[in-house]
């Protein structure tokens, strides 16, 4: 697979003199690495990343551009990183990575309509990429699906995959914009993949993203939650959002959830309603996180 060219650039402030705070730069690169890695896994394997699964960027250094601090990068081959020799991402096009990064930034800036448009566009691009695969590549993908039991457990539509991944990317977005508007660091950060347009985030947008991650925790209470039958990893459970349409991941801190067979997974397999002791966290007045502390009972 041809490696996708990526350009990460910081402008204004210290970057105008080809300088940038090392700690903030490191935090920013970790954030964009997480976003690109998640995007690569989702569009290559059509599932959410596994816990700890990475598709890291490889950075390159070149002479500085006047008034800017730039870092060209390459995403490693999907076949090498994910043990699958099917160039799905190549068929879709590297520009989809820029769409994904922008969708995450827009989501935490509160631009919901732009996010919905981007999700539909990315799903269409992915469908077109799949349609372009050869018969041999399709057969190989079928074999890969057959041996990846976890993918079948977590299979869902591409739009739902993107919604879940984007809504869970707040910490990565905050990391990426870390140098923007902090002290004398930089005024803007931009990201481009392939031949797509650069996606620029300014100080106002960076502040909105940081503000979106400030959590207001409500008092612990008993709550009724409808399970979705989808277990993301050992410490999270998919539930219907109790405040609005859609689904969300609830963090389960109850030690009982660590057992292979437990009341949570038993209820999830039936998509049952459960009563639990939990606390809710809100960001900008919107339910952003639920922590489940104790299982009370399965209802009905």
Which of 133-147, 251-265, 267-281 tops mean pLDDT?
A: 267-281
**Taking residues 44-49, what's their average pLDDT?**
79
Q: Say what percent of the chain tops pLDDT 70.
A: 76
pTM for the whole thing?
Answer: 0.68
Please tell us whether the domain made up of 216-299 is placed in CATH 1.10.3210.
no
- Give the model's pLDDT for residue 274: 94
Three-state SS string across the chain, please? Answer: CCCCEEEEEEECHHHHHCCCCHHHHHHHHHHHHHHHHHHHHHHHHCCCCCCCCCCCEEECCCCCCCCEEEEEEEECCHHHHHCCCCCHHHHHCCHHHHHHHHHHHHHHHCCHHHHHHHHHHHHHHHHHHHHCCCHHHHHHHHHHHHHCHHHHHHCCCHHHHHHHHHHCCHHHHHHHCCCECCCCCECEEEEEECCCCCEEEEHHHHHHHHHHCCCEECCCEEEEEEECCCCCECCEEEEECCCCCCEEEEEECCHHHHCCCCHHHHHHHCCCEEEEEEEEEEECCEEEEEEEEEEEEEEC
Structural domain boundaries of the chain? 5-212, 216-299
- Name the pLDDT band for 155 (thresholds 50, 70, 90): very low
């Amino acid at each position: 697979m041809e490696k996708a060219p990526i350009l990460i650039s910081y402008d204004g402030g210290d970057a105008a003199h080809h300088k940038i705070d090392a700690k903030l730069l490191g935090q920013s690169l970790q954030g964009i690495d997480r976003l690109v890695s998640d995007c690569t896994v989702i569009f290559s394997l059509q599932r959410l990343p596994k816990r700890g699964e990475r598709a890291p960027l490889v950075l390159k250094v070149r002479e500085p551009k006047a008034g800017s601090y730039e870092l060209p990068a390459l995403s490693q081959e999907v076949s090498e990183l994910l043990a699958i020799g099917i160039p799905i991402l190549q068929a879709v096009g590297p520009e989809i990575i820029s769409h994904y990064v922008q969708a995450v930034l827009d989501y935490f800036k509160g631009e919901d309509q732009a996010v919905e448009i981007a999700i539909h566009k990315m799903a269409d691009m992915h469908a077109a990429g799949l349609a372009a695969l050869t018969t041999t590549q399709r057969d190989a993908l079928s074999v890969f699906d057959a041996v990846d039991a976890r993918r079948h457990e977590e299979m869902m539509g591409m739009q739902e995959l993107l919604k879940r991944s984007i809504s869970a990317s707040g910490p990565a977005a905050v990391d990426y914009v870390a140098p923007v508007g902090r002290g004398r660091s930089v005024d803007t950060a931009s990201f481009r993949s392939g031949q797509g347009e650069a996606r620029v985030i300014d100080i106002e947008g960076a502040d909105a993203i940081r503000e979106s991650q400030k959590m207001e925790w409500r008092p612990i209470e008993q709550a009724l939650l409808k399970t979705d039958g989808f277990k993301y990893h050992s410490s999270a459970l998919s539930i219907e959002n109790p405040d609005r349409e859609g689904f969300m991941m609830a963090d389960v801190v109850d030690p009982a959830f660590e057992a292979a067979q437990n009341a949570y997974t038993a209820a999830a397999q039936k998509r049952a309603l459960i009563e639990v002791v939990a606390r809710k966290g809100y960001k900008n007045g919107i339910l952003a996180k639920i922590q489940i502390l104790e299982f009370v009972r399965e209802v009905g």
